[in-house]
Amino acid sequence: MVGIIMGSDSDLPIMQEAIDILESFDIAVEVDIVSAHRTPEKLFDYANNAHKRGIQVIIAGAGGAAHLPGMVASMSPLPVIGVPVKSRNSIDGWDSVLSILQMPGGVPVATVALDGAKNAGILAAQIIGASDKCVLDKIIAYKQGLKLKVEKASEKVRK
């Protein structure tokens, strides 16, 4: 199972892409709002206990100062994938990108592109697929589908 958390419900339209891609791979998701700044106790509980509930990977999306992914990674033994979200109080999203990307040694957060929740979902599936053949096969088929899509588009434009 993949835990998908975000700092605010305004992040849900972006984070929905991670939910959708994981569900397309038949991977269970748990979705919640956990604010690093407004609900720190909930953040501590989530980060310390997610692995006890069967979560294998955490995807954390946040905008602005974007402390959520790093704080979760500091407490959880699970891999954490950060999704920087361009929010209305953001500085073109760069504050979010840098807040998630520039983690200190010993506290890794895999970081995807600004608003890149779909890639976060794919990366989470690949992490799970490293030890789950069924998920791995779905990733392989997905990537083959991407290749076929490009080949069909190439055939249309070549003359």
In tens, the pLDDT along 8-47 reads: 999 999 999 999 999 999 999 999 999 999 999 999 999 9
Tell me the three state secondary structure of residue 22.
helix
Give 90's pLDDT tier (boundaries 50, 70, 90).
Answer: confident
Mean pLDDT across the chain, nearest whole number? 95
Tell me whether strands 57-63 and 80-85 are parallel, antiparallel or unpaired: parallel
Asked whether the CA dihedral 55, 125, 79, 119 is positive or negative, the reply is negative
pTM of the model: 0.95
Give 141's pLDDT tier (boundaries 50, 70, 90).
Answer: very high
- Does residue 75 contact residue 37 with C-beta atoms inside 8 Å? no
Res 29: pLDDT: 98
User: pLDDT for 41-81, tens place per residue?
Assistant: 999 999 999 999 999 999 999 988 889 999 999 999 999 99
H and E: helices and strands count for the chain: 6, 5
